[in-house]
Amino acid sequence: MSVTLNSIAKQGKNGAAMMPIIQGVGRAAIEIAAVLRGAIFRGVLGKAGAENVQGEQQQLLDVLSDEIFLEEMRSTGFVCAVGSEEQEELLVIDEYTRSDYLVLVDPLDGSSNLDVDGPVGTIFSVVKRKTANSERPHVSDTLQSGQDVIAAGYVLYGPALMLVCSVGAGVSGYTFNPSNARFELSHPDIQIPETGGYYSVNESNADKWLDNMDANLERLKQETGLGMRYVGAMVADMHRTLLKGGIFLYPADDKNTTGKLRLLYEAIPMGFIMEQAGGKAMSRNDAVLNIEPETLHQRVPVYLGSKNAVDILFDN
């Protein structure tokens, strides 16, 4: 008998409470995967014609994925609000304002890959509300550091559909089995290799990087001889880094002076997974998980990978 997503319930002290939400993520993943596969036939490839709150062009699939994810979180009954990269304000789920949990989501990560049939993903994390259940959930409930994250993970829409997640007791990877329509545990207890792997970064920005990262990366390359891979979708680049080792980075540059990746939707969930897998997650000189968020859509520099590679980059 294969092990399915239900096995999350037995992990750590939060597994049972998180299972319905992670199952909801699994349902959203299956629906989003189906929409992605048929997108060209439904005419939903391309721009939505609007900009999101970050001033980025929304793709129709960003909007559809956001709707699907929100609907699945609503249907769990355990989520009182969702903060999404695609929504300016916190979305309160009116039927369940008394529920305990808030979910933060990047519904479709790497959307510039859509036009070229490249891999994309979904990234999520779960926190417990700070306001009383009798109150309406508030954006301040989402502004919690990575130390308060209860569960996080990502979906990778690649040749296989994968859900990688953690409830704070290690990292488990599940692969969707089309023959029984279930996510089955395919990668138990993922640990990032300590050596080897790749460095993964948009190196075309090197001459604009802040924090001396150009020189630091050259030193890392010389000391480790790491090869290079870059997909341009954080989920795909993170997944390879997790399984093969090395480092994924998106430094600040003179255009994005505080970095490009979003603290709540990308850096914290991926930092949580990376640390749970025995790796290291830095942002400038702070650990990603120690940053106290100030705003919903805040951006930060990100350095995730094998301890050794991150330490060499920071010259520790």
Footprint on this chain of ligand AHG (rule: CB under 6 A)? 56, 85, 106, 109-112, 202, 232-234, 250, 260
Q: How far is the CB of 195 from Mn ion (least distance, A)?
A: 28
Q: Which is nearer to ligand AHG, 30 or 233 (CB)?
A: 233
Residue 247 bridge partners (DSSP)? 199, 305
The binder of 202, among ligand AHG, Mn ion, none, by C-beta within 5 to 8 A per type, is ligand AHG
Q: How far is the CB of 260 from ligand AHG (least distance, A)?
A: 6
Q: Which is nearer to ligand AHG, 20 or 232 (CB)?
A: 232
256-261 contacts, C-beta under 8 A, 24 or more apart? 256/299, 257/210, 258/298, 258/299, 258/300, 258/301, 259/283, 259/299, 259/300, 259/301, 259/302, 260/299, 261/234, 261/299, 261/300, 261/301, 261/302
Q: How far is the CB of 66 from Mn ion (least distance, A)?
A: 9
The verdict on 141 binding Mn ion (CB under 5 A) reads: no
309: helix, coil or strand? helix
The binder of 143, among ligand AHG, Mn ion, none, by C-beta within 5 to 8 A per type, is none
Q: Which is nearer to Mn ion, 158 or 193 (CB)?
A: 158
The verdict on 109 binding Mn ion (CB under 5 A) reads: yes
| E strands, 8-90, in order | 47-51, 57-59, 79-84
Q: Which is nearer to ligand AHG, 23 or 122 (CB)?
A: 122
Q: Which is nearer to Mn ion, 108 or 220 (CB)?
A: 108
Residue 187 bridge partners (DSSP)? 173
The binder of 233, among ligand AHG, Mn ion, none, by C-beta within 5 to 8 A per type, is ligand AHG
- End-to-end CA distance of the chain: give it in Å, rounded: 46
Say which residues have a Cβ less than 8 Å from residue 83's Cβ, sequence separation at least 6.
90, 91, 102, 103, 104, 105, 139, 142, 264, 265, 296
Hey, which residues between 83 and 102 contact Mn ion (CB under 5 A)? Answer: 85
Contact (Cβ atoms closer than 8 angstroms) between residue 241 and residue 200: yes
Q: Which residue in the shown chain puts its C-beta closest to Mn ion?
A: 109
The binder of 304, among Mn ion, ligand AHG, none, by C-beta within 5 to 8 A per type, is none
Q: Which is nearer to ligand AHG, 87 or 202 (CB)?
A: 202
Cβ-count burial 275-290 (b if 16+ within 10 Å, e if not): bbbbbbbbbbeeebbe
Q: How far is the CB of 234 from ligand AHG (least distance, A)?
A: 4
95: helix, coil or strand? helix
Burial of 222 (0-12, 13-18, 19+ CB in 10 A): exposed
Q: How far is the CB of 77 from ligand AHG (least distance, A)?
A: 28
Rg (CA), the chain: 18
User: Alpha-carbon distance 84 to 116, whole Å?
Assistant: 25
Q: How far is the CB of 114 from Mn ion (least distance, A)?
A: 11
The verdict on 106 binding Mn ion (CB under 5 A) reads: yes
Q: How far is the CB of 238 from ligand AHG (least distance, A)?
A: 8
Burial of 305 (0-12, 13-18, 19+ CB in 10 A): buried
Q: Which is nearer to ligand AHG, 56 or 292 (CB)?
A: 56
Q: Which is nearer to ligand AHG, 15 or 153 (CB)?
A: 153
The verdict on 66 binding Mn ion (CB under 5 A) reads: no
Q: Which residues of the shown chain bind Mn ion in the complex (CB under 5 A)? A: 85, 106, 108-109
